[in-house]
């Protein structure tokens, strides 16, 4: 029996040695050399799901996003509420954006459009509804019209861009940043520009983003008559109006209209 033991010991040693080698070569979940595919060294730069080339590019049909090659559709969205922007990296390391307009407020770097890439501070629209001077029921009544129509755009306070003989525009409106219309066009960079009488784009888009007819008018306000504080629709009295599709005369307070007329309103979020 003692003569057999060394032989058995050698046999067991020969069986256990390759098994130990197998366990040593198997990577663990914590092994940083293991790739997403589960084996080391199989994720080739520039291919789908792998790291980008050092110059920030990928093989054809893929884009470099966050250091990883992806299909163009598989990128995160950036930009303001209402617009979708695909972001990718070009060969020179710069970032490109392509916007998809869904008819709501967006942002891009074109002339007359928002440049911040963030949600605009204020939105201005022209009402789809039309009202006589008496139907406005004063400045407070005009604000209620704006709030009712604007709540589908943004849950905030809305006021009419309207004045009377006592209250001026700037006493009613507080602007703290960019103002855009519901088509996504930049109208003004600040309050001074908004109330200057000249805008960067046309404000004539209603609460649904639809353009109003070229010939339509908007009540803006007169310091002389203003339909007796927007309380009468007697054609013997007048209020002043602006042209919503003309950025140079959108706030034209020198054009009178009988209070029996039915212009629209401008509404701006606060």
User: Are 238 and 221 spatial neighbours (Cβ–Cβ below 8 Å)?
Assistant: no
Average pLDDT of every residue of the chain = 75
The tens digit of pLDDT for each residue in 220-233 reads 997 678 999 999 99
Please give the structure tokens belonging to residue 168.
Answer: 């001026």
Q: What dotted CATH number matches 122-269?
A: 3.10.100.10
**What's the confidence (pLDDT) of residue 36?**
37
Three-point CA angle 139, 246, 187, nearest 5°: 70
The pLDDT confidence band at residue 127, using thresholds 50, 70 and 90, is: very high
Q: What is residue 180's predicted lDDT score, i.e. its pLDDT?
A: 98
Going by DSSP bridges, is the β-strand pair 122-126/179-181 parallel, antiparallel, or unpaired?
parallel
Per-residue pLDDT at 121 exceeds 60: yes
**Which residue in this structure is represented by tokens 């353009």?**
211
The pTM score is: 0.59
Average pLDDT on 34-52 reads 62
Residue 107 has pLDDT above 90, yes or no: no
Domain range summary for the chain, segments of one domain joined by +: 45-102, 122-269
Find the helix or strand (DSSP H, E) in which 258 lies: strand 255-258
Which residue has 């954006």 as its token pair?
Answer: 97
* 84 phi/psi in degrees, rounded to 5: -115, 130
Taking residues 208-218, what's their average pLDDT? 96
């Amino acid at each position: 029996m003692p003569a057999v033991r060394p032989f058995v010991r050698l046999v067991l040693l020969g069986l256990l040695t390759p098994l130990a080698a197998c366990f040593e070569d198997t990577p663990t979940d914590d092994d940083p050399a293991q790739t997403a595919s589960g084996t080391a060294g199989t994720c080739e730069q520039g291919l789908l799901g792998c790291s980008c080339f050092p110059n920030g590019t990928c093989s054809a049909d893929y884009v470099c996003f966050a250091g990883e090659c992806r299909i163009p559709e598989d990128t995160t969205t950036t930009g303001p509420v209402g617009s979708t922007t695909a972001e990718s990296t070009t060969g020179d390391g710069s970032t490109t954006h392509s916007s998809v307009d869904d008819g709501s407020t967006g942002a891009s770097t074109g002339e007359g459009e928002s440049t911040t890439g963030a949600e605009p501070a204020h939105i201005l629209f022209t009402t789809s509804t039309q009202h006589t001077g008496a139907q406005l029921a004063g400045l407070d009544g005009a604000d209620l019209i704006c709030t009712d129509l604007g709540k589908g755009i943004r849950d905030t306070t809305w006021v009419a861009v309207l004045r009377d003989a006592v209250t001026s525009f700037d006493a009613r409106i507080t602007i703290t940043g960019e103002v855009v219309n519901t088509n996504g066009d930049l109208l003004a960079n600040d309050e001074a520009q908004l109330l200057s009488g000249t805008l960067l784009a046309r404000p004539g888009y209603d609460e649904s983003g639809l353009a109003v007819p070229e010939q339509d008018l908007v009540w803006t306000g007169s310091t002389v008559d203003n339909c007796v504080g927007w309380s009468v629709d007697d054609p013997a009295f007048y209020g002043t109006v602006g042209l919503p599709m003309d950025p140079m005369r959108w706030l034209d307070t020198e054009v009178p209209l009988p209070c029996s007329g039915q212009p629209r309103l401008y509404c701006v979020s606060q």
